[in-house]
Structure formats: structure tokens, C-alpha cells
Amino acid sequence: MERRDFIRLTGIGSVAVFITPSFFISGCRKENMMDMAGSIKIMEGDFSAPLAIPQTVLANGSPVLNAQITRASIIKGKTTKVFGYHPSILGTTLKINNGETTNIFFSNSLAEETNIHWHGLLVPANMDGHPENIVQAGSSFNYNFNINQRAGTYWYHPHPHGKTAHQVFMGLAGFFIVNDAEETALNLPSGNYELSLAIQDKRIYSDYSLNYSPTSGEVMTGYLGQYVCVNGIYSPYHNVATRWYRVRVLNGSTARAYNLALSNNANFYVIGSDAGLIASSQSVNNLLLAPGERADLLIDFSTYSVGTEMFLQSNSFNGGVAQGSDSFKIMKFIIDRQETDTFTLPSSLSVITPIPATSSSFNRNFEIGAMEGPHSGMNMSGGMHKINGKSYDMNRIDASVNAGATEIWTFDNSRGDEIHPMHIHGVHFQVLDRIGGRGALIATETGWKDTVLCMPNEKVRVIMTFPQHKGKFVLHCHNLEHEDDGMMLNYEIV
């Protein structure tokens, strides 16, 4: 593809697109990739739109989700065609206690197939939203399962192979929060003092319509948007009291990672990760969160005076060829009222018993950094992103594991130049170590997880014991462009 065609194809009207010339020369070492996407310049707004808080629905009844084409106001004063599970973008926050059962009536009012995957929930294979369990346009399905796992910030989104990124981008995603007795006993900030924030970047045309049309170069880099949204609102603010807040953050973007920080560089506290509480809180002033990952945070606003404004922002980071070089604000907190708060940070949160590496009965290696293998053009069955040289095939089982067995899986990105957040369905894992690259674990990686970020040059080892739910699950890169391009495998619990 000629470079001028690439510029034409990105076609986002008056919105600024900056293409770094050196990127074309040095950024891509793959063949046939003359149209690498360059970088999309983030557009910061004026943070004058109130944050939207999705409605919370108890999931132990019979909640209803209906995937549909609808409209929402992402940019203040404008409405945009989106997808939602209700007549608005995103879905309700489903909440449940460990041990309870849910029976979700899901209908598909889209004009295309979809389904729902319960990201981080340990559910039977036929309830997990495997790409072969599709709900056709005009059909419905009952997702029925029992919750038997730790409290944590889980989420749901579509999983039809080749269409996941588009459907998530258009607005299909929601929180699924599990509570349990251990967590309740900590008396963490709740009610108005507990926020769930889904951060997603959107590519938006100058007529305010959503635009999901990645070029092949953007399948490589991920489809980055210029408009960073929280809970479907671009450039929002939220009023807070002089209190501690519990802030659950989901990176629901298709490809963009964020290095979360507060604009005054204040420390905040990591208390949990993908699958619940870590052992004890860890004070940080920045935290990387890749697509699919969640962080459970405490922010202490109690020491600020009324009228103070501060931002949740993303600091720059070393993110491979495609992202991380810019820093930008995500949302604004306005301390607007004085309240007294007696909350004190618990000295310990939970007990995380490490799975000893010696208990692994099998070690598997997943090569995620190599681009070799036959490919000629963009419409071949095998995409550009592979795992162990293989592109996703719905009918091929790539790994068989025994229920109850412990294994170590290594995600090897040591030859790669892109970031790959690797996600495994049907199980929670612990991160053993990271060799190369950052060379160490971060705060969220000290607990239970289902998605782990593998930066270029990194080899990340995870350890897990497979549950008794037998059947076919997937593992994949949670850069959704990579996933749809084929960076996914089936594994089976037998």
C-alpha cells in the first residue's frame, strides 16, 4: 500500500493524525507492512461532562441484557450511534455474592452474531462465550451459572471470532462485580465512595460518529483512538468528598495501555487486581494497565481542600513501537465538599498463598513475539499475529490440560516489538516472574490474575491449577485487533 493511500484510508477528517516519519523507517521489521499506523494524537477535552455511572443490577435474580444498536452521548452535546446492552452505551454493572447463582437472559438485537464472555468468571465451558457458542442475530440465550470464586472486579464483553474488537469498540462491555465475606469484613469505601471506571479510547470522525476501520497497519499496532472515554463519556469530571475512595479501573480499550497516575503525582494504593484482593496494599504513583486488566485502587482525597482539582492521567511509558510516548489526562476529580472519614488502610487485605513452581506437572511455552510463517497479503486464513506460529482455528485443540493439574505457561515476547496482554479463560493464575524488559512484577501482579502484560523483550511465566470445569476454552492476546487477527488458541480441560 502506498503511503498516500494509508493517509487517505485513515480518513478521519479534521481530527489531527500525526505520522512519525521515523516510525516508517525503524518501527516495523515485518515484511509487507508499508502502512504502519503511526501514532494517533490524543485530543484532550475540557473535562466538563459529568461522569456516567452505569446502573447496578443484582445478578442473583434474572438480569436482562439485550445487545442493540442505540445512541449515546459520548462527546458532550452530541449523540452517536453505538452498541449497548440497553438503550445506551455499555451495560449495567452486575453484582453478585460468591456462592450465588445467576440466570441472565441475553438477546441479540444486533444485525450480526455476537455472544457474551464473562471475563474472569470461572464458569462451565458452554457458558463462557467461547467463539463457537454464538448467539445469532435475532436469537437469545440464557447464561446460567453459579459463582464460586473470590470477590473481584470482573467484566463481560462479546467474543465472536473476528468481530470482538468492533463490538467492544462500539460499546458492548460491562462490569461484573463479585463480593464475598472476606472483602466485606475490610469495610472498604462503598456506596458513593466506590467508583467503577471503564477506560476506553475511541476513534471518532469529525461528524462525531464512531469509526472502527483499522488498516492492516493498525491491526499491527492496535486501533488507537484520539478520544479517551470513561464509562462511555469523553473527558469527564466527577465530584468527590474529602474521603477515601475505592476506584476499580478496567482497561476496556481494544489496544491502548495506560500508565495510570494522579496529576499531582500523589501516591495511591493498589488493593486488588484482576481476580480480587492482593495480600496487602501497595503504594504507587503510577500503574500500568493493559487491555483486559483491572486494578482495584484506593485514593485518599481526605487531605485536600475543597475546590482542589486533580486528574487521573496516563503517563508516558516504554510501550514498544506503537504506543506509550504520550501522556494525557483521562478524567478530572473535583473535591467539592468536606466530609469526615474514619477509614484507615487495613494493614493486610487477604492471604495469597503462592503456588510453588515445583508443583507444576507440565510447562508450556507460547511464542508470541515472532511474526514468521507464511503470509502473503492480508486476507489469508492465517493473520499476522500468531501464537507458536499458529493462527486461531476454532476446530483445533492446541493444548490439553488435566482438571486439577498445575502447569507453568511462559509467554515469550522476547523477539517481539509490540505489547501483548495475554489472557487465559476459565482459570486464574499467579505471575511467577518476568525475564527481560521490565524484569520485575508490578503491584497488581502480586495477586490472582487472568491477563498479564508482556512487553517487547519480555518472557512472563504464569502458574495455575486448572479447575474441574471440563471443556474447551481459549487463551489469547487481549489486544482485540490481535485477537481478531488470529492471536488466539484453544485449550481443553480434560
DSSP 263: T
Pick what 479 binds: ligand C2O, Cu ion, none; C-beta below 5 to 8 Å, kind-dependent.
Cu ion
Pick what 294 binds: Cu ion, ligand C2O, none; C-beta below 5 to 8 Å, kind-dependent.
none
Query: Which C-beta is closer to ligand C2O: that of 119 or that of 203?
Result: 119
Query: Which C-beta is closer to Cu ion: that of 434 or that of 482?
Result: 482
Site for Cu ion in 400-429 (CB under 5 A): 420, 425
Query: Which C-beta is closer to ligand C2O: that of 215 or that of 251?
Result: 251
Pick what 476 binds: Cu ion, ligand C2O, none; C-beta below 5 to 8 Å, kind-dependent.
ligand C2O
Judged by CB under 5 A, which of 335, 477, 488, 489 binds Cu ion?
Answer: 477
Query: Which C-beta is closer to ligand C2O: that of 163 or that of 478?
Result: 478
Question: 233 by DSSP, 3-state: which?
Answer: strand
Residue type, 273: S
With contacts defined by CB under 6 A, name the span among 236-244, 266-274, 341-349, 471-479 that binds ligand C2O: 471-479
| 210 closest CA partner among 244, 169, 152, 238 | 169
Query: Which C-beta is closer to ligand C2O: that of 155 or that of 317?
Result: 155
- Give the count of beta carbons closer than 10 Å to the beta carbon of residue 341: 15
Q: How near is the Cβ of 336 to ligand C2O at its closest, in Å?
A: 35
Contact string (CB under 6 A) for ligand C2O, positions 389-428, x = contact = ----------------------------------x-x---
State the Cα angle at 375 between 371 and 381, rounded to 5°.
Answer: 110
* Distance (Å) of CA 328 to CA 76, 232, 303, 389: 19, 17, 25, 36
Judged by CB under 6 A, which of 150, 159, 161, 163 binds ligand C2O?
Answer: 159
Judged by CB under 5 A, which of 482, 490, 491, 493 binds Cu ion?
Answer: 482
* Distance (Å) of CA 407 to CA 402, 461, 467: 9, 10, 12
Dihedrals phi, psi of 334, to nearest 5 degrees: -115, 120
Judged by CB under 6 A, which of 95, 157, 202, 248 binds ligand C2O?
Answer: 157
With contacts defined by CB under 6 A, name the span among 77-85, 378-386, 395-403, 474-482 that binds ligand C2O: 474-482
Query: Which C-beta is closer to ligand C2O: that of 299 or that of 477?
Result: 477
Site for ligand C2O in 180-219 (CB under 6 A): none
Cα 289 to the center of its chain, rounded Å: 8
State the Cα angle at 430 between 123 and 247, rounded to 5°.
Answer: 75
DSSP 54: P
Q: Show the DSSP H helices in 193-352 as ranges.
A: 216-221
| 388 closest CA partner among 292, 475, 319 | 475
Q: Tell me the site size for ligand C2O, rule CB under 6 A.
A: 10
With contacts defined by CB under 5 A, name the span among 6-14, 86-94, 213-221, 480-488 that binds Cu ion: 480-488
Beta strands of 19-109 (E only): which ranges?
39-40, 49-50, 56-58, 64-72, 80-84, 93-97, 101-108
DSSP 145-184: EE--S--EEEEEE---TTTHHHHHHHT--EEEEEE-HHHH
Half-sphere exposure of 439 (CA within 13 A, CB side): 1
Judged by CB under 5 A, which of 270, 479, 485, 493 binds Cu ion?
Answer: 479
Q: How near is the Cβ of 481 to ligand C2O at its closest, in Å?
A: 13
Q: How far apart are CA 433 and CA 446, in angstroms?
A: 10
Cα 234 to the center of its chain, rounded Å: 18
161 sits near ligand C2O (criterion: CB under 6 A): no
Beta strands of 203-354 (E only): which ranges?
227-230, 233-234, 236-241, 244-251, 258-262, 268-273, 276-284, 287-289, 294-300, 309-314, 328-337
Judged by CB under 5 A, which of 49, 95, 115, 119 binds Cu ion?
Answer: 119
Q: Tell me the site size for Cu ion, rule CB under 5 A.
A: 6
Pick what 130 binds: ligand C2O, Cu ion, none; C-beta below 5 to 8 Å, kind-dependent.
none
With contacts defined by CB under 6 A, name the span among 76-84, 176-184, 229-237, 472-480 that binds ligand C2O: 472-480
Q: How near is the Cβ of 76 to Cu ion at its closest, in Å?
A: 32
Site for ligand C2O in 94-153 (CB under 6 A): 117, 119
Q: How far apart are CA 434 and CA 445, in angstroms?
A: 10
Query: Which C-beta is closer to ligand C2O: that of 156 or that of 244?
Result: 156
Pick what 292 binds: ligand C2O, Cu ion, none; C-beta below 5 to 8 Å, kind-dependent.
ligand C2O
Query: Which C-beta is closer to Cu ion: that of 119 or that of 246?
Result: 119
Half-sphere exposure of 225 (CA within 13 A, CB side): 29
Q: How near is the Cβ of 320 to Cu ion at its closest, in Å?
A: 10
Pick what 157 binds: Cu ion, ligand C2O, none; C-beta below 5 to 8 Å, kind-dependent.
ligand C2O
Q: Which residues pair with 341 in a beta bridge?
A: none
Query: Which C-beta is closer to ligand C2O: that of 37 or that of 474?
Result: 474
Query: Which C-beta is closer to ligand C2O: that of 335 or that of 462?
Result: 462
Q: In what order do the strands lie in the sheet with 56-58?
A: 56-58, 93-97, 174-179, 152-157, 117-119
The residue number with the shortest CB distance to ligand C2O is 119
> Which residues of this protein are in contact with ligand C2O, per CB under 6 A?
117, 119, 157, 159, 292, 423, 425, 474, 476, 478
> Which residues of this protein are in contact with Cu ion, per CB under 5 A?
119, 420, 425, 477, 479, 482
